[in-house]
Amino acid sequence: MKIMNLTNVEGFLKTINGCKGSVELVTKEGDRLNLKSELTKYVALTSFFTEARIPEMELVLSEPDDALKLVNFIQGA
């Protein structure tokens, strides 16, 4: 799942915390970082917070219902 132009980072992270399965951020190098880990969130998203906007990210979700949860968040954001 690709997400573009995310501006509500706080709401996005709350939505991630509400997901049942794993949510992984795919880096440019192809590594997968677990976004449900507080340490990973801090490390992976620090650069995005400086801009207050996330231009693009790719996520891998283990539960199909979580994709719907994220789509609903993005459409409402």
Residue-wise pLDDT tens digits, 37-66: 988 877 766 666 555 566 788 999 999 999
Are residues 7 and 52 in contact, defined by beta-carbon separation less than 8 angstroms? yes
Tell me what pLDDT residue 71 has: 94
Residue type, 48: F
Number of domains in the chain: 1
pLDDT band at 13 (very low <50, low <70, confident <90, very high): confident
Specify whether the CB–CB gap between 59 and 3 falls below 8 A.
yes
Strand order in the sheet with 23-26: 2-6, 54-61, 23-26, 32-34
| Residue-number span of the structural domain to which 34 is assigned | 2-76
pLDDT at 77: 57
CATH number, position 37: 3.30.1340
